[in-house]
Structure formats: structure tokens, C-alpha cells
Chains A and B, each alone.
Chain A
Amino acid sequence: MSHNPSSYYSGSVVINGAETITGYNAARSLVGKGFTIYGLAKNSESIYLKSKIWTKIFVGSFSCEELINVAKKVQSRQRVKSLKPVLMLCQDELVEYVSEHKTLLSNYFLFQIPDAAVVKILLDKTCFHTWAIENDVNVPKSYIASNQRDIKKALKELNFPIAVKPIVRTALWDKKYSNKKLFKLETSPEDITLINDLLNYTERLIFQEWIYGEDSDVYFVLALFGEKEQISICGRKLYQWPPLSGSTAMCTTDIDAEYKEQGLNVLRKAGLSGLGSVEFKKDSKSGKYYITEPTIGRHDYQSYIGTASGVNLSLLYVLDCFGYCYIDSFKQKNAVWIDELNLLRSMSKQAKFKRLSLIKLSYFHKYTFYFANWSFIDPKIGLLYVWQTIKIKLQRLTHIIKSKVKIRC
């Protein structure tokens, strides 16, 4: 542990999901500030674990006992042993787990997370939908199905197009439909076997009336409800992967009082404490904003846009947990955040269907660009990412060539 006069703060921060882009970006938001950053990862394979940002990576499944052990190990490396580390979450499953064991874990970590009941409402799509209707929150008309009869009923009652999503993305679902967050049904299918088949990979499905609009009609509010201050930033997606239904491939800062207030209201009503966000889609026909997805208690996939725009919510969360003072007087700068590979995929897919418009990119010539994998402070990850991508492409190509040669032989 060294003290650099240019770093303002001190203390240890433990970030979960260190093997993911989200965890890595959360850690990157804290670089150079003086904190000692530790990572929690489920496996030791990911390229993000090779970053110099991490002081140490703990690999495991992280039950309460394991988390307490991590806290004890981190504290034993500090000179002031009783200074608790801050726990920053990046994955829903740990948010749920930590909220359930909040009292016990708060003896070992500093963190801000809503109570388990609030977390359940916002994480479970069924509960959220019911809660949203009770609280006058704009959500698309939906139907939950757990058997064939429900599916038939949903298809009968809702207007097409319909989006079909799993309530919980299980490992089975991810294995079968990696990258597929939803299916879009344009018209009533004659054969519903395929939809019935989805229930083999998840217990319940949510059927939602489709909100018309492009990727760039998706807006979001990222917020920190700290002990003293409530800080938020607004953003807008430009590209998603897969288009219209996937994760952010490119997003930008955006200021719109209407959806900002709407988003903050939802988080306030729900009883957020700590980090959270709300995603909206603007219906291109009615101009109404519909809430599509809340995130609670954790760093979001595109949260680095906050750091890029000068409102570093991850840093403010850590400062709030440690009791450092900060004042809400941040000016949001114009910035763009890009997930490199997803953007290329999304653009190439849109080009294939002749829907790619490069003109919208020209609006951002004065914006500062930040990347999910590439940064000058940690170039190793960017290079590893390029190398990994090339390797995967080459492996696929070799596989295709080999299979063609075999067929010819």
C-alpha cells in the first residue's frame, strides 16, 4: 500500500463481478483516487482479471461466510484494521443475496443497499409490474405466463407486436439463447410450440406489448441515493446489441427533465438507497416514456458514462460509504461511451438490413469518447480484448475451413 500525494482518498473497495465489463468499468472509475481495489470473481478466466487495477482477486461463489472471509483478509492488509472495506456490487444475484444478509454483512463491509423487500420488487419482473401499476408508473401492458394456458391467454389479450422475455435469465436460458434478452412476435403465431418450448429454459415468461422505436429511443437515468445527497445523470442509448433488445453498445449523455424526474420518482417511491437506475423507451408513436427495466443496488452496464461525463457515481458511492464529504454541484459534460465489439456487431447488423444511419454519429463530433475496454490508463485490457476477439474469429474460421475440407474429402 503506497501513499501517492496526488491521490485524495484512502481505504479499500471490494467490487463484485470483476470478471465482467461492468465490474471492470466500476473499478476503472476509482483508479488513481487512492483506494485499494479488490475484485470478487466467479472464475479466473476473464481478461478483465488481468488488469493492473486489481490489488487482488478473490475467486469463489461468495456465500456470507466467504464474503466475511474476504473482508477479514482485506482488513488484515490495512494498518488500521477496523476500517471496513466498501462493497460495490455489479451483479443482480449478489444484490439479492447481500440485501437478504444486510445486517450480518454490515458488520464487515460498508455498503448502501435497499431492504430485501424493495430489492425483490425491483428485481423480479412480476413483482415490479404489479408494483408499477399500483404506483401509477408507466409500464407497457404485460402478462405473465408459466404454462401453455397462460401463453394462449397472453397472446389473445395483448396487441401485437409482443415482446417475450424470461422473468429470470437462468443459466439454461443463457446457454441456449446467449445474448437473446427477448423474442419479438410480429403476429399471432399459428404454431406456439416454439414459445411453449421457452418454458423449458425458464420458469416464467413475461409477454409485453411492443413499444415502437429505435435503439436511440431508449433513455436511462443513473442515480445515487446517498446518505446526504441524491445525484443523478441522464443518458440515451444510440446502439444496442442485439439491436432493439440487447445491452448498450453505444450511449451518450442527455438531459431531459421529463424522464429524469419520472425515473427519480420511481426510485424514490421504491425506496432506493445506494446505486440504481431506470431505463425508459420512448414510444415513437405516442411520445410517451415507458419504463422497461429498473436496476437496483448496483453498478449498471453503461454506468461508466457517468464517470465519462464528470459525474462519477461509482466514486461518489464509495465516498458516501466512507463518509467523505462531496457537494452536489457537478456539471454533466457531453460524453459518449462505447462497447467496442457490440457496436461493430450492431452496426454491421443494421447495415445488413440497410438501417444504419451514420448521420446520427456526426452529432457527437464535439463529445468526448470513452470505451468499455480501451483506456490509456490500462491499455493492456484493450489489447487483450482485441487479441481475444481476433483469436475467437480465427478459431471460428479455422473450424469452418476444416469442416469444408472434410466435406470435400
Chain B
Amino acid sequence: MLINADKDVHQYSFSLLSNEQFLSFKEEWDALLTRSDANTLFLTWDWLSVWWAVWSKDLALQLNIIICRDHDGELVGIAPLYRHNGVLIKKFPCVRLAFIGTSVRIGDTVRSEFLDFIVDSKNPISIRRALFKEIYADSTWDEMILADVLTSSATFALCTINNKYKNKTHLRMREKDVGVNICTKGKFSDYLAMLGKNTRNSSFTCRNKLSQAGDLTIITSSDNNKENLALLNRFHLQRWGKKCFDDKATSFHQNMLDNPSTTFQLSFTLMKLNNVPISISYNIFYEKKVFNLQLGFSELENHRLAIGSLNLGFVIEKNFNNNEAEYFDLLLGSGKNIYYKDRYKGKLYNASTLEIIRNPYLRTIFKFYDYFNFGTKESFI
């Protein structure tokens, strides 16, 4: 369908990707991603296709990827969405659109962050507007959930302050979260000087104390994946009372580790004291940035050392020494008791999960619900 997306000169055509087309779309997808303003690990074809392969059947999801081409037929936009027939407020049937890589209101999967429409950065706003127009032209959906969208993204603006469809929808912020991105381009000594005394001690200086306590070994590798994933689960079970990866999530990561992607590299940094694992971090390197996906550690008896922080400190230091990596991203979310990530003096960023309700009945219910703040909870920020 050819539409006049903006009142300007831009004309785009749209089509939906079938399952088969999606599976063979890697090249075009990743090429557009590198040209886009949302070039992140979680939007790579590798990440999303594995996610789709692991969860789509179990969660009964249907692919709804909209691709947008300009008048020359060049791919300029992708809305990486799926469709799900579910219920809302336990009773109301609801057709939901959501980003592939997330499953808010549907089930538990791994968390994919900074999700967005993938659009050519030459024309990011008009393509996004055109994609939204195309999505709204489809009258069959009741609710759209755009999870963990960066608030600095034009998609966020087009859903909030620049929302053209606000009279036809009710927008809710399901979640607001903060992440930290540390620049590791400069000198490590300058970075250390910037940190607070406690953070410097707990994450870096105390490594010497730990090595005095026994034989300390730190290994970074992408081998022994099964054991490493199991170790992360064990540490999480001890600290949080539940595993960090359930069976499906383990199979998702296992799948990625077993079939190494050409676009990103996964690795584990394991700390052992006297040959006993005491902490492990799970990191992925993509486009000059290392994403810290998970961190697990055990408490040491007779030592008041922050083992998790020491592991993080080691990985950050390593990033400073790595010429290819320029950033270390601690991603969204907080610690068990406090928000510790801002101590690492990175750049803070905000992300929100947007819930756009279009069904008139559901819209009325949620407007009423939100007006009286029934859903009010402690703000994370």
C-alpha cells in the first residue's frame, strides 16, 4: 500500500514479513540497523530471531513485522512487532501488538532493552510517523505495548508529547527505568579518580585484599557455557531466592552461545578463589559497546568484600584496556536493596514501557483506573 506518510514528499510502501521471509532477512535487517539511530544489540536480527524461535510457539505469538520501503524500493524502516490474542483484566479479549523480544502482560522471557522501530537515520521522524500511521490503519488491535523504549528516542516523543492519535488512545507508562552507560574511551586512572572512595575501594582496590585471601583467578571466556549459565542461576537462587534464567531463558542463551553470532560476541568473566567460583558476569560485545547482561556472586565468609562489585570492576577495567570497546553499559534495573549503578559515574538514561490502549471499552476502564491512581506504586526513579 502506498501512502503519503507525511504531507511532505516522502512516499513509502509497506508490507508484512512472513515467518520464512523473517528467517532469511538477516542481511537487510542488520544493514538497516547499522544505518539507524537505534543500533543496539537487542534489535539485531540474531537476538530477535533466537528470541522468536524460543518463545513464539509457547506464547502463541504471530509475527507482525511491518517493513517500510521508499519509492526506490530501499528498506528504510522496520516495526519489529508481533500480535497476540489474549485477555486484559482477566475477562476482556484483547488483540495485542508488542515488540519482539518482550512479553509484558503475556509471560516471562529474557528482557530485551532499548527496543524501537528500526529506521534509516536520514529520515527518522517521517519514517516513524509513516510506520505509526500504518499501524493505526490496522483496526484489529486493541492494545500496543512498546517495552523499554529510550526516552531520548523519537518513538517515545511520537507516543507522548507529539502523539497524533491521543484522542483515539489512552497512553499509560507501565514502567519507568534508569540505566547507566560508562564511557571507557579515556584513561582508566582518570576514571578511577572520578569515582567515590567507597566505590573505588569496593570495586577496584579491594581486589588486592581478595588475592591475599587465597589464590585468585579471573578467567574471561565463552567456553563452558552450560556450567557458567548454571553457576549464574545458582548464585541468583542464593541471593534472590529464584533463578535468573528459567529453562526457556537458559535455552535462549545456550542457543546463542552454541551458534556464535557474527554480529556480537558473548563472554563470561569468572572469578575463582582457591579454585572455587565466587562470582561471574555475563557480557555481550556489540558495536563498540559491552552490555552487562547478568552478574552473580556468592557471599564470602569472614570477608566483608563486595564480590559482585569486584567482578564488575574487573570487567570495566578490562574495557578500558580494550581498544575496540568504547562503552560499558550496565543496562536497566536496580540492585536488590539500592540503586548502585549510578555510583559508576556513567551517563544515565531513561527508558519507559508504553502501553497504548485503543479499544474504547478498555480505554475508558483504564482512564478511570489511572485517574483515581488505583495503579499508583512507588516510583522507581
Interface residues of A (CB under 8 A from B): 1-11, 34, 78-83, 315-316, 319, 322-327, 329-330
Our pick among A5, A9, A315, A325 for the contact of B153 (Cβ within 8 Å) is: A325
CB-based nearest A residue for B6: A329
CB-based nearest A residue for B341: A80
Chain A nearest Cβ from B119, distance in angstroms: 13
CB-based nearest B residue for A11: B381
Report B-chain residues with C-beta under 8 Å of the C-beta of A8: 160-161, 171, 173, 352
Residue B156 interfacial (CB < 8 Å): yes
Residue B212 interfacial (CB < 8 Å): no
Residue B241 interfacial (CB < 8 Å): no
Report B-chain residues with C-beta under 8 Å of the C-beta of A322: 151, 350
Docked Cα-Cα span, A319 to B350, in Å, equals 12
Decide if A329 touches B339 in the complex (CB within 8 Å).
Answer: no
The verdict on A2 contacting B376 (CB below 8 Å), with A7-B173, A80-B348 known, is yes
Residue B371 interfacial (CB < 8 Å): yes
Decide if B173 touches A327 in the complex (CB within 8 Å).
Answer: no
Decide if A327 touches B154 in the complex (CB within 8 Å).
Answer: yes
Docked Cα-Cα span, A182 to B154, in Å, equals 47
Decide if A325 touches B381 in the complex (CB within 8 Å).
Answer: no
Report A-chain residues with C-beta under 8 Å of the C-beta of B373: 2, 4
Decide if A327 touches B158 in the complex (CB within 8 Å).
Answer: yes
Report B-chain residues with C-beta under 8 Å of the C-beta of A9: 151
Contact digits for B133-169, partner A, Cβ 8 Å, 1 yes 0 no: 0000000000000000001111011101110000000
Docked Cα-Cα span, A353 to B8, in Å, equals 53
Decide if A83 touches B178 in the complex (CB within 8 Å).
Answer: yes
Docked Cα-Cα span, A7 to B160, in Å, equals 10
- Which 3 pairs across A and B sit closest by C-beta, in order of nearness? A3-B379, A82-B342, A5-B172
Decide if A1 touches B379 in the complex (CB within 8 Å).
Answer: yes
Decide if B152 touches A327 in the complex (CB within 8 Å).
Answer: no
Interface residues of B in 173-216 (CB under 8 A from A): 173-174, 176, 178
Further pairs besides A3-B381, A8-B171, A10-B176: 19, Cβ < 8 Å: A3-B176, A3-B376, A3-B377, A3-B378, A5-B375, A6-B171, A8-B352, A9-B151, A79-B379, A80-B339, A80-B381, A82-B345, A319-B161, A322-B350, A323-B350, A324-B350, A326-B157, A327-B158, A327-B161
Decide if A329 touches B162 in the complex (CB within 8 Å).
Answer: yes
Residue B125 interfacial (CB < 8 Å): yes
The verdict on A79 contacting B370 (CB below 8 Å), with A3-B376, A8-B160 known, is no
Decide if A327 touches B171 in the complex (CB within 8 Å).
Answer: no
Report B-chain residues with C-beta under 8 Å of the C-beta of A330: 162
Report B-chain residues with C-beta under 8 Å of the C-beta of A329: 162
Docked Cα-Cα span, A34 to B373, in Å, equals 13
Residue B380 interfacial (CB < 8 Å): yes
Docked Cα-Cα span, A162 to B161, in Å, equals 46
Decide if B173 touches A325 in the complex (CB within 8 Å).
Answer: no
Decide if B152 touches A83 in the complex (CB within 8 Å).
Answer: no
Interface size class of B (residues with CB under 8 A): 35 or more
CB-based nearest B residue for A3: B379
CB-based nearest A residue for B150: A325
Interface residues of B (CB under 8 A from A): 125, 151-154, 156-158, 160-162, 171-174, 176, 178, 334, 339, 342-343, 345, 348-350, 352, 355, 370-371, 373, 375-381
Chain B CB within 10 Å, residue with most, of A10, A83, A323, A330: A10
Decide if A325 touches B370 in the complex (CB within 8 Å).
Answer: no
The verdict on A4 contacting B370 (CB below 8 Å), with A80-B381, A83-B348 known, is yes
Between-chain CB contacts (< 8 Å), 7 pairs: A1-B381, A3-B176, A3-B380, A4-B373, A79-B381, A325-B152, A325-B157
Report B-chain residues with C-beta under 8 Å of the C-beta of A4: 370, 373, 375-376
Docked Cα-Cα span, A324 to B152, in Å, equals 5
Chain B nearest Cβ from A141, distance in angstroms: 44
Our pick among A79, A323, A324 for the contact of B380 (Cβ within 8 Å) is: A79
Decide if B178 touches A80 in the complex (CB within 8 Å).
Answer: yes
Docked Cα-Cα span, A323 to B352, in Å, equals 14
Decide if A323 touches B152 in the complex (CB within 8 Å).
Answer: yes
Chain A nearest Cβ from B364, distance in angstroms: 14
Decide if A327 touches B162 in the complex (CB within 8 Å).
Answer: yes
Report B-chain residues with C-beta under 8 Å of the C-beta of A78: 381
Decide if A10 touches B379 in the complex (CB within 8 Å).
Answer: yes
CB-based nearest B residue for A36: B379
Decide if A324 touches B125 in the complex (CB within 8 Å).
Answer: no
Report A-chain residues with C-beta under 8 Å of the C-beta of B371: 6
Report A-chain residues with C-beta under 8 Å of the C-beta of B355: 5
Decide if B342 touches A81 in the complex (CB within 8 Å).
Answer: yes
Chain A nearest Cβ from B135, distance in angstroms: 18
Decide if B377 touches A2 in the complex (CB within 8 Å).
Answer: yes
Report B-chain residues with C-beta under 8 Å of the C-beta of A316: 161
The verdict on A327 contacting B125 (CB below 8 Å), with A3-B176, A6-B370 known, is yes
The verdict on A2 contacting B378 (CB below 8 Å), with A324-B350, A325-B157, A327-B154 known, is yes
Docked Cα-Cα span, A394 to B171, in Å, equals 49
Chain B CB within 10 Å, residue with most, of A81, A322, A329: A329
Docked Cα-Cα span, A327 to B132, in Å, equals 15
Docked Cα-Cα span, A274 to B171, in Å, equals 29
Docked Cα-Cα span, A91 to B380, in Å, equals 33
CB-based nearest A residue for B159: A8
Report A-chain residues with C-beta under 8 Å of the C-beta of B178: 80, 83
The verdict on A323 contacting B176 (CB below 8 Å), with A5-B370, A5-B375 known, is no
Chain B nearest Cβ from A324, distance in angstroms: 5
Docked Cα-Cα span, A326 to B254, in Å, equals 40
CB-based nearest B residue for A323: B152
The verdict on A79 contacting B174 (CB below 8 Å), with A11-B381, A325-B157 known, is no
Docked Cα-Cα span, A5 to B371, in Å, equals 9
Docked Cα-Cα span, A324 to B350, in Å, equals 8
Report A-chain residues with C-beta under 8 Å of the C-beta of B171: 6, 8
Chain A nearest Cβ from B40, distance in angstroms: 16
Report B-chain residues with C-beta under 8 Å of the C-beta of A6: 171-173, 370-371
Docked Cα-Cα span, A150 to B164, in Å, equals 59
Report B-chain residues with C-beta under 8 Å of the C-beta of A327: 125, 154, 157-158, 161-162
Docked Cα-Cα span, A324 to B155, in Å, equals 11
Docked Cα-Cα span, A79 to B380, in Å, equals 7
Chain A CB within 10 Å, residue with most, of B161, B173, B375: B161
Docked Cα-Cα span, A372 to B73, in Å, equals 54
Docked Cα-Cα span, A330 to B375, in Å, equals 31
Report A-chain residues with C-beta under 8 Å of the C-beta of B157: 324-327
Docked Cα-Cα span, A7 to B355, in Å, equals 12
Decide if A81 touches B339 in the complex (CB within 8 Å).
Answer: yes
CB-based nearest A residue for B153: A325
Decide if B378 touches A323 in the complex (CB within 8 Å).
Answer: no
Docked Cα-Cα span, A316 to B162, in Å, equals 11
